[in-house]
Structure 1
């Protein structure tokens, strides 16, 4: 893995016709303790970075300088991190943070409640992004394809194993990429014709014609709350939705990961050990966060050389004790830590509980000599 950092210099001709809305309020419940008091986009990734930084890097490289970040759950970290790390890439007033705690009722409702800003920018297209995925993408290609198609909405798509597609919007397309059907998180995802083991899924990235989207958000007596359940299916029913396949990234292959589970988050970290599949500035050297044996360590954590951790995530600020063994005995792991799939999450609270409950057995004294508890631990 190279330490050379890619350039994030903004293109000399920013695209003023696009208003970008970054949905960064996700709670990320499937990451459990990592998001108990932190939003999913703010979860640390590969050292000093956070998950949200991938979308932000893509925005900057794509020449987009009108960005509204909609936060909701536990926004404090993002409110500090985004201006500090990314504010210098935007003109004054070009990046706005809007706190929607207890107000936003869904993805579409978030855009509706911030529509006044879209109107003030006078944009012809609205780019809606998810802030909680690890991926590499130049949005300029997506926007150009959308403009050329004349569609009401263009959905960025990738292909995943059909067994994994039930957590996404799944679609089938016809000639030219027109979307013929769209199902949000179906229990039995339809396969790509001729490819029974694969499905085409939404990346949660959309480009809308602004006039069409305004009518969809405000022109109905029943207010739509969600893009996947209501807005996108409406465009598909009108024959006005197109799909845009994710192009290849730095490795020559497309890279997009929904890191919504502990297994997926750990595996995405490991993808950066041998190669950098998605461009990100200032990525920390692997030696700072990769522990070997398929394990990763988050900022502020400490792991002594005597510990043996396999397929583990060490949460921020966690101090692993000497000699700890994790990832070799599933029953022992599950007793003290959170184990899902192959991944074991270790937090300081879990270690504290383990220390408090592992009371040494009281062995009978032999020959009148009492044993010290450390001798029987």
Structure 2
């Protein structure tokens, strides 16, 4: 991959990759959210990793937690020659990270060893295209202690994000994490400015925020960023347009968002895929996606479906025609996305076998005649 025009100098970088992603249902039964496949052989985490490579970052610490095994295999296999040294932080279930800020505090020793005056915090579970070097340059120019990368979304869709208002200079005036009634942007009240979960901190400020607070900060969105806003020390950096001419960032934390984001990459990709993967390998048509190892015969007709990795779809399977029938056997969202896994198909097949056994007539036996 060709580096960006604005390479990021040496600085400490922490990639947070421990999320479970419960809203992805069975797709994260054995894998963390960042490890979920996206558009063929890519994984969600690969977008952050590719951005780091293109931005010229040479060192990164990856904090893992939930179901880390597949990530621990995937990262060195695909990215191991890109970053040295690598740190994979994991917990065994007895001493879990209590939030994003708690993960940074527990990883502080290797972060400190990386050196540099700034610390870059990245999220591993979003699909986006970003030059981290440009973010760092804007942070240094702002004079703020922390810069939050932001995008804008319709106000009604902002309840799942950190929402802020900023003045004309980019200084953050208000910040609320996942508000029930998100604040509209100044000058554009129909849209909301939301945090991408990506931050650049001055090292000294972050150290004090993590260790000198009376009550330990557990989460960036709930604790650290609101404190910085209250001190007048927080600024925003707006995600610029990508290859499509528009900014593209998606939190693919639901089945609907995961399916729709992959559909965005079919004709005119809104952002660069980390690695090329032929559309024919993963797009089934009719709004449906096949994940790695899934086998879907031509006789199946799937609509708005996600076929989980390794799933063997039987010939003749139909989804999308009858919402009640879909929901009976599969996970179906209110918006109509259908998740199909092998276990679901096995239960469906077992029920059909039992039903056939019960409804089939018993073999006719002629009674014997006795004198």
TM-score category of the 2 structures, normalised to the smaller one: over 0.9
RMSD over aligned CA atoms reads 1.8
What is the CA–CA distance in structure 1 between the aligned matches of 2:8 and 2:271, rounded to whole Å? 23
Match of 1:346 in 2: 340
> What TM-score comes out, normalization by structure 2 length?
0.93
Contact 1:14 1:65 in 2 (8 A): no
Matched residue of 2:149: which SS? strand
Contact 1:17 1:125 in 2 (8 A): no
Cα offsets for 1:206-262 (capped at 9, x unmatched): 000000000111112311000000000000000010011000111111000000000
Contact 1:71 1:101 in 2 (8 A): no
Aligned residues: 359
Q: Tell me, which stretches of 5 or more residues in structure 2 are unaligned?
A: 366-371
Query: What does residue range 206-285 of structure 1 map to in structure 2 within 5 Å?
Result: 206-285=199-278
What is the CA–CA distance in structure 1 between the aligned matches of 2:6 and 2:82, rounded to whole Å? 14
Contact 2:167 2:186 in 1 (8 A): no
Contact 2:8 2:136 in 1 (8 A): no
Cα offsets for 1:17-39 (capped at 9, x unmatched): 42110000000000000001110
Match of 2:132 in 1: 139
Q: CA deviation at 1:96?
A: 2.0
What is the CA–CA distance in structure 2 between the aligned matches of 1:219 and 1:350, rounded to whole Å? 50
Cα 1:216–1:298 change in 2 (3 A) is same
Q: Which of 305-314 and 213-222 deviates more?
A: 213-222
Of the candidates 79, 89, 95, which is equivalent to residue 98 of structure 1? Answer: 89
Contact 1:10 1:89 in 2 (8 A): no
Q: CA deviation at 1:11?
A: 6.3
> What TM-score comes out, normalization by structure 1 length?
0.92
Match of 2:116 in 1: 123
What is the CA–CA distance in structure 2 between the aligned matches of 1:160 and 1:142, rounded to whole Å? 20
Residue 163 of structure 2 corresponds to residue 166 of structure 1:
no
Match of 2:174 in 1: 181
Matched residue of 1:20: which SS? strand
Give structure 1 regions of 4+ aligned residues with deviation exceeding 6 angstroms: none
What is the CA–CA distance in structure 1 between the aligned matches of 2:8 and 2:263, rounded to whole Å? 35
Matched residue of 1:296: which SS? strand
Query: What does residue range 1-377 of structure 1 map to in structure 2 within 5 Å?
Result: 8-10=1-3, 15-90=8-83, 92-93=84-85, 95-102=86-93, 103-340=96-333, 341-358=335-352, 359-360=355-356, 362=359
Match of 1:374 in 2: none
Contact 1:16 1:66 in 2 (8 A): no
Matched residue of 1:247: which SS? coil
What is the CA–CA distance in structure 2 between the aligned matches of 1:15 and 1:46, rounded to whole Å? 28
Q: Which of 11-20 and 327-336 deviates more?
A: 11-20
